[in-house]
Structure 1
């Protein structure tokens, strides 16, 4: 789907007169195992999107492919009054990316207060917003806001349901991108909190583990000058480490081997940051040979191919 994070964090705070002055001032101061599985994957990338009204760039967690594969770890035995036959039917349609039909059926469901209806409505509205090539930005924003209020209002009654926390993290991240860089930074800890809660309730959810890994990686990977700028303007930022990111990526892979091309790629990239080039080459080679199911898989393959050459050059030294 287009979360968490999750909610996802490089803050390219550029083109702002205030930021440019701050940057000038700051810079002038001193300053081997294999996986075997029949399961196959998905994708989410931290990217940059332009806030045209402010002229700033800020991160978005693109999950447009991450929640549209069949092999996803959603509740296997829904605790719900809604029939399992109905839920399976809408889930099958969702896997086929028939999002408008899924939304129509869920909106027409009799018990829309049922938690299994709610989180699926949030999921499909998020996907309608992030997959559409025809909707206006305003229409996409309306869908994200609708999804956000659905899951936010459901939280008090369903605090013990992992999917509520997971989808709150996802849509909160997306909602914050509409509100600007400062809002995005202010929500980082809240987004991580809900991802952690989702994992506490469902430890084997590979997509949330991946999202947490991305959150940790992007926080750690932020260049020192961008961090100093952000700290000067927005107070203290959260911290993490590459080791923490690696822990989540490895656990996601352990739960569902090869579930997602980007998770394998991030294992390679994280090992590169840790200067473990042998392990980096191993996962980058795996990503390079990953079966392409969608455009984002192809992007992962292309990036891995470039990074693999770099890792191999280090190994030859």
Structure 2
């Protein structure tokens, strides 16, 4: 009788959108809801960040006989994995994120594909990764980005990571290739910005693209002239506009944006604003290796400013 009542309760809960999921090998039930409370989000994320077993696999055997419940669970699992992936990214848990998403490297879902591109690139950029492995990871990441763009060219992240990784490929295919693809890279970044104007990273990268062309050396300008006839151009003023816009969208989102604001103001001979932004870059709390590198560069530049 008790078992019957329990099954009825579980069935009603599943069909009403509040699935109760049983973990494999655990004689307890984990209550979740389609719209989780903040408390659950916090506790779940902290547990995962500490390396405890993830909750994305809970419910593998949960009432597969109920068709509608299985649909609910499938959606729940996908959302849970994406949620975990984004949190691991924010924690800079690069290896855990890569291992999590590698289980879905044959997915045709654009939300998995662009995250796979991002995670694989992040792993390639980890300090100490051997050069040959880094190259292989960059090419692997580009493959995911390319597939994501093929699956959904209306997804801003597909354009964003395609542009970023196309630029990364230039490190292995030579300066000429990078220059040849520079306008294609900007086109995809502009499209990403058009689709999602509130993504500060895309705006930052556009600023970096402008800064790079503003400081292009004489020899590279000559090469660009051979390739394009009239080479792509930009200015420090245009770069500054993008960097400031990125900071407006999300203040303090990225240490490198603070650094580039300082460097751009330096290039424009505005020492007061250069000092302001370089100080912010120096004082940014470092989490990643890149943050630490930004800190060191900001310290050196501030010394030169006096």
Q: Say whether the fold is shared (TM-score over 0.5).
A: yes
Q: Paired residue for 1:92, among 75, 82, 87?
A: 87
Name the one with the larger helix percent.
2
Structure 1 gap ranges (5+): 1-79, 313-317
Q: Which residue of structure 2 aligns with residue 32 of structure 1?
A: none
- Check 1:149–1:290 CA distance in 2 against 1; reply closer, same or farther (3 A cut): closer
Q: Which residue of structure 2 aligns with residue 115 of structure 1?
A: 110
Q: Which residue of structure 2 aligns with residue 164 of structure 1?
A: 158
| Aligned pairs, number | 232
Greater RCO (CA < 8 Å, at least 6 residues apart): 1
Q: Which residue of structure 2 aligns with residue 131 of structure 1?
A: 126
- Check 1:136–1:274 CA distance in 2 against 1; reply closer, same or farther (3 A cut): closer
- Check 1:201–1:281 CA distance in 2 against 1; reply closer, same or farther (3 A cut): same
**Higher Cα radius of gyration:** 2
- Check 1:296–1:268 CA distance in 2 against 1; reply closer, same or farther (3 A cut): same
Matched, 1:210 2:220: no
Cα distance per residue 1:48-93 (max 9 Å; x no partner): xxxxxxxxxxxxxxxxxxxxxxxxxxxxxxxx95632221123333
Distance 1:96 1:289 in 2: 19
Q: What is the CA distance between 1:114 and its match in structure 2?
A: 1.2
Map 1:138-287; keep pairs closer than 5 Å: 139-232=133-226, 235-287=229-281
Structure 2 gap ranges (5+): 1-73
- The answer on whether the counterparts of 1:272 and 1:311 sit within 8 Å (CA) in structure 2 is no
Map 1:63-78; keep pairs closer than 5 Å: none
Q: What is the CA distance between 1:180 and its match in structure 2?
A: 1.4
Q: What is the CA distance between 1:232 and its match in structure 2?
A: 4.5
Q: Which residue of structure 2 aligns with residue 299 of structure 1?
A: 293
Q: What is the CA distance between 1:305 and its match in structure 2?
A: 3.2
Q: What is the CA distance between 1:97 and its match in structure 2?
A: 4.1
Cα distance per residue 1:9-58 (max 9 Å; x no partner): xxxxxxxxxxxxxxxxxxxxxxxxxxxxxxxxxxxxxxxxxxxxxxxxxx
Q: What is the CA distance between 1:214 and its match in structure 2?
A: 0.8
Using the TM superposition, name which of 258-267 and 127-136 deviates more. 127-136
- The answer on whether the counterparts of 2:127 and 2:289 sit within 8 Å (CA) in structure 1 is no
Partner of 2:258, secondary structure, is helix
Cα distance per residue 1:81-111 (max 9 Å; x no partner): 5632221123333444444443343343498
Matched, 1:290 2:267: no
